Amino acid sequence: MVKEQGDKIKLNLDTANMTDEDYRKLWDGLGRIEIRCVEKIGQCRHNVGDTFYYDRMPYRAPEAVCYALRHVMELYTWRIALGFPSWNAGDRDGYRVHCPDRTGTVWEMRRID
């Protein structure tokens, strides 16, 4: 199995000749994802500093996070798990996502190992 520096999976991984053992190692190598509230704009049950985790594979979303926010975060879990760089030039490992409610919260998502 081919990995890049920082033990992240290459985005052009060739799975055609991957063995079952390689496949299991690939899944086992995916890290936990931490989500942390970094900004609260309006009314929300979450507060700055609240931190939750997506458990290792298969990814299980934190139950304490509301469904609307969980839906937004699901769009980024695989990007983070596979090491795909974020659009934030100052921190390519961290994604900042906003709650769907315009007066909600801003969260930072990152892979932790």
1 in any annotated domain? no
Q: Are 54 and 33 in contact (CB under 8 A)?
A: yes
Is 38's pLDDT higher than 90? yes
Mean pLDDT of 16-36: 85
The model's pTM is 0.76
2 in any annotated domain? no
15 in any annotated domain? no
58 in any annotated domain? yes
7 in any annotated domain? no
Please name which of 66, 84, 67, 68 lies closest in space to residue 76, comparing C-alpha atoms.
84
pLDDT tens digit sequence for 42-99: 888 999 999 999 876 566 778 888 888 988 998 898 888 888 889 888 999 999 999 9
Burial of 54 (0-12, 13-18, 19+ CB in 10 A): buried
Please name which of 107, 59, 60, 96 lies closest in space to residue 81, comparing C-alpha atoms.
59
Mean pLDDT of 3-31: 73
Q: Which domain holds residue 47?
A: 31-112
